[in-house]
Amino acid sequence: MTGEQGVRAAARVAQIEAIKTTARELLIEKGAAGLSLREVAREMGLVSSALYRYFATRDELLTALIFDAYNDLGSAVERAAESNTGASTTVRWRNSCQAVRTWALAHPNEFALLYGTPIPGYNAPTGTIAAATRVATVFGSILNDDRAQKAELADGQGRDVRPFLSVSNLALVMPAVDPSDYLRGVMAWTHIFGHLTFELFGHLVGTVTSPDLAYAAVVDELTEWLRLGE
C-alpha cells in the first residue's frame, strides 16, 4: 500500500467511525426504529448519497452498530472474568456479572439496541452470531471450569434437554458439564439479562429500592443456584 493509499484508507476508517458515532447519538433521540441514513447525513452536514459509499443501507449501518456493541460488551466481560489470575469460578462469575451491568448502565442505548424491542423489518445477519455469543461463552466456560475442577462427570440422570436445547453446540463450550445442567446455565444467563432489561427499562420502579443491592443479591442467588464453588 502506497502512502497515498494509506492516507485514503485511514480517512475512510475515520469517516466510518464518524458516521457510527453520529448514528449512536441519534439512537438516543429517535431510537433504532427511527434511525435513517438521511438523518445521519443531515446531522453530519452531508448529502445522504455521500453515506452510500460507506453503508449501502440503514440495515448495514445498524449491523455495524450491533456488531460493535456486542464486541464491546464481550470484551468487557472477558476482561472481568480473567482479571484475577487463578481466581475461583465464583469470583469470575461475580466479576463477569458485574461487568455486564457496568457496561449496560454506561451504554443504555446500545443495550436497548441489542436486547430491547426488535426493530421492524430488520434481521441481523448470521455474521453477528459470534459477537453476540461472547458473553454466553464466558458464562459457559466458568460453569465448565467449575464442574471440571469438581470432576463431576455426566451421569445422565437429570432432565433430558435434547428436545429444546442445542446440546451439540452447548457441549462445545461446556464439555465437562452434565447435559442435564445445561438448562441451569442457560437460565442463569437469561436471568442476568432479563433483570438488567427490567432495571434499565424502568420495570423495577416501585419494587426495588436499591438497584445496586438488588443486582448483587440476584448474582449471589444465581451463584448458589449454579452450585459454583461448592
CATH top class, domain 67-225: mainly alpha
pLDDT by residue (tens digit) across 88-97? 999 999 999 9
Tell me the average pLDDT across 13-26: 95
Q: Give the pLDDT of residue 34.
A: 85
CA distance 222 to 97: 10
Q: Give the pLDDT of residue 1.
A: 59
**What is the overall mean pLDDT for the chain?**
92
pLDDT by residue (tens digit) across 113-147? 999 988 888 998 999 999 999 999 999 999 999 99
Tell me the average pLDDT across 199-217: 97
CA distance 124 to 12: 24
Domain boundaries, the chain: 1-56, 67-225
**Torsions phi, psi for 49 (to 5 deg):** -65, -25
CATH architecture of 1-56: Orthogonal Bundle (1.10)
Q: Give the pLDDT of residue 152.
A: 53
Q: Is the pLDDT of residue 155 over 60?
A: no
Q: Give the pLDDT of residue 117.
A: 87
